[in-house]
Amino acid sequence: VSVLARARTIASGVLDPELPPLTIADLGILREVRETEGGIEVLITPTYSGCPAHAAIMLDLELALAKAGLANVRIRTVLSPAWTTDWIGAAGLAKLKAIGIAPPVAGPRAVACPRCGSPETERLAQFGSTACKALWRCLACREPFDHFKCH
């Protein structure tokens, strides 16, 4: 296995600190892992500028790659093009649903309840358990849920 392939596998397995079952690859935060003259370069794009999880992701990446014995790794933040929820892959959307977090929706559409699927929901608070989530409540089953809103 090449160094590049190993670096790719390790980087893809780093979990997002906001949404632990999802990896940064699931969320589309991991843009590219490539070989450069000096070693390996990892490119990541934060879900939104100022996302508090971003520094933690960079540190986790560095630690994971160092632990695997990969030297000369550079982690770079790429801000353009900006991250969009479209970058969340099918695996990421399925994992979000499995943990009861409503996936991000494009535009002003209603957020469907991740438990019963009802579109009758209301936002309770702009911030949920973390800054990247908003707290919503389902009007059908009355359950509160987090909506991943970073986009």
113 sits near Zn ion (criterion: CB under 5 A) = yes
Residue whose tokens read 């996302």: 51
Binding mask 119-138 for Zn ion (x = CB under 5 A): -------------------x
Closer by beta carbon to Zn ion, 26 or else 146: 146
98 sits near Zn ion (criterion: CB under 5 A) = no
Kindly tell me which residue out of 118, 131, 135, 137 binds Zn ion, with binding defined by CB under 5 A: 118
Instruction: Report the side by side order of strands in the sheet with 40-44.
Output: 30-35, 40-44, 73-77
Helix (H, G, I), strand (E, B) or coil at 123: strand
Distances (CA, A) of 135 to 56, 70, 128: 23, 40, 4
- Closest contact distance (angstroms) between CB of 130 and Zn ion is 21
Contact 105, 98 (CB under 8 A): no
4 sits near Zn ion (criterion: CB under 5 A) = no
HSE-CB at 1 with a 13 A cutoff on CA atoms is: 9
141 sits near Zn ion (criterion: CB under 5 A) = yes
State the residues that interact with Zn ion by CB under 5 A: 113, 115-116, 118, 138, 140-141
